[in-house]
């Protein structure tokens, strides 16, 4: 059962505490912290997990997927360095929470989800939670959206066993892609496209994600 759409002073206070914790953990981007403070994470999860909504932990959602730990959302978003108006491709819409953080920051968002149930849920829920339009697609994230590319930024929110070449090819020159790579645990990896044929790769430590799967469900 999803939450009724209410956001109380208690919830807002809990978000303030969460933002303070994220600052302690090293998140510095004021715009990212503002987005975390503004977006009611408890509305993106099942009612039974409300008490954990503002704990810094991942939580289960439908189809054996998760809503990422707030620190992970903040870390990936900070690393992405989005600017207002950027065209952003998100792989793994999930609950729509990370999508909402990106939309709050003023990007033009294109997001792919491979689980049909999650795709339909988020398609209905997202317009009620944030007053910015997202372009949502049901499909295979490994393939990206070649007919809409290139993208200024690409964010992958599931663990990929390797870097999909289709996604690299859809990144604009000067663009940044953040992707967790590995099986079991993943290394958060940043790819910067410095020219048509040259990419700069930087690793940022281990994280834990659900696996990035290929086939549509």
Catalytic residue among 68, 95, 99, 100: 68
Report which of 104, 92, 80, 101 is spatially closest to residue 171, judged by C-alpha positions.
80
Query: Who's near 126: CB < 8 A, 6+ residues apart?
Result: 96, 99, 100, 134, 136
13-41 burial string, b = 16+ CB within 10 Å, else e?
Answer: ebbeebbeebeeeebebebbbebbeebbb
Give the separation between CA 203 and CA 50, rounded to whole angstroms.
34
Q: Residue 133 class from Cβ within 10 Å (0-12 exposed, 13-18 middle, 19+ buried)? A: exposed
Active-site residue flag, 68 = yes
The torsion angles phi and psi of 65, rounded to 5 degrees, stand at -105, 175
Give the separation between CA 111 and CA 201, rounded to whole angstroms.
23
The token pair at 65 is: 């997927």
In the three-class reduction of DSSP (H, G, I as helix; E, B as strand; rest coil), residue 142 is classed as helix
Catalytically active residues, by annotation: 68
């Amino acid at each position: 059962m999803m939450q009724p759409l209410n956001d109380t002073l208690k919830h807002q206070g809990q978000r303030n505490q969460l933002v303070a914790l994220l600052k302690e953990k090293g998140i510095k981007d004021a715009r990212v912290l503002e987005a975390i403070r503004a977006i009611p994470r408890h509305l993106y999860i099942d009612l039974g997990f409300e008490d954990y909504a503002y704990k810094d932990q991942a939580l289960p959602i439908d189809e054996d997927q998760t809503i990422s730990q707030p620190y992970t959302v903040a870390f990936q978003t900070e690393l992405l360095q989005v600017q207002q108006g950027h065209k952003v491709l998100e792989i793994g819409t999930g609950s729509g929470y990370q999508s909402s953080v990106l939309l709050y920051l003023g990007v033009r968002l294109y997001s792919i989800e491979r689980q049909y149930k999650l795709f339909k849920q988020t398609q209905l829920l997202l317009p009620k939670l944030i007053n910015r339009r997202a372009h949502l697609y049901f499909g295979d994230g490994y393939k990206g959206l070649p007919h809409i590319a290139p993208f200024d930024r690409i964010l992958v929110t599931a663990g990929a066993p390797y870097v999909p070449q289709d996604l690299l090819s859809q990144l604009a020159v000067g663009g940044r892609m953040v992707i967790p790579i590995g099986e079991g645990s993943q290394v958060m990896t940043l790819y910067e496209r410095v020219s048509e044929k040259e990419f700069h790769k930087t690793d940022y430590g281990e994280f834990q994600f659900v696996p990035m799967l290929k086939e549509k469900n």
